[in-house]
Amino acid sequence: MNQLNRICVFCGSHEGKKEIYGRQTRALALELARRRIDLVYGGGSIGLMGILARTMVENGRGVLGIIPEALTLKELSGQMLGELKIVSTMHERKALMARMADAFIALPGGLGTLDELFEIMTWGQLGIHSKPIGLLNIDGYFNPLLDIIGHAVEEGFVRLQHTDLAVVDDDPASLLERLVNYQAPAPMAQGLNWEQT
């Protein structure tokens, strides 16, 4: 079983077109709070990021936002949500979020969210980390992405075992329970000495 004290959540700086995205983001935050799990995230106060962090703060949980200085004018609006750490680059942001988290969850989002998700999955594939990764598949948002990964398996570019790098569920409570019980697949390359992320 995995001890989950702080989870990194990747999600959009927009709320998307469907109300269910915001509703399920809030449901995830409430479930994290119920389980006494703190949040690390991209530091924004708008979009799904804002809903997530605001709900966590309202429910008494710790929130650590990590944001590059260049994005502070674009993604920060209004009240500060929890502790905010401003870094220099996107690379520094992602590395610090990875270090600070016991697990990762991706919610719907755009290219930045997908970038964060694929990087953390690649690090798992290579054995840089063995932390649980989850996709909260709200209203089937990630279905096309899962189809592409399946296609990459069929075409010989992704090993079947690495489709288990991410746990997929559409229910926040069920997803968190599965992350607690997650066992990472064997990394693609054994015995490599990676620099700490």
Residues 13-64 have pLDDT tens digits of 999 999 999 999 999 999 999 999 999 999 888 899 999 999 999 999 999 9
The reported pLDDT for the residue numbered 70 is 83
Q: Is the pLDDT of residue 135 over 60?
A: yes
pLDDT band at 81 (very low <50, low <70, confident <90, very high): confident
CATH number of 6-180: 3.40.50.450
Q: What is the mean pLDDT of residues 115-123?
A: 95
pTM of the model as a whole: 0.92
Q: Considering only residues 72 and 161, tell me which one the structure prediction assigns the higher pLDDT.
A: 161
The reported pLDDT for the residue numbered 7 is 98
Q: What is the mean pLDDT of residues 116-131?
A: 93
| Cα distance from N-terminal residue to C-terminal residue, the chain | 23
The reported pLDDT for the residue numbered 121 is 95
The reported pLDDT for the residue numbered 1 is 84
pLDDT band at 197 (very low <50, low <70, confident <90, very high): very low
Domain ranges of the chain: 6-180
The reported pLDDT for the residue numbered 189 is 64
pLDDT band at 79 (very low <50, low <70, confident <90, very high): low
Q: Is the pLDDT of residue 191 over 60?
A: no
The reported pLDDT for the residue numbered 195 is 59
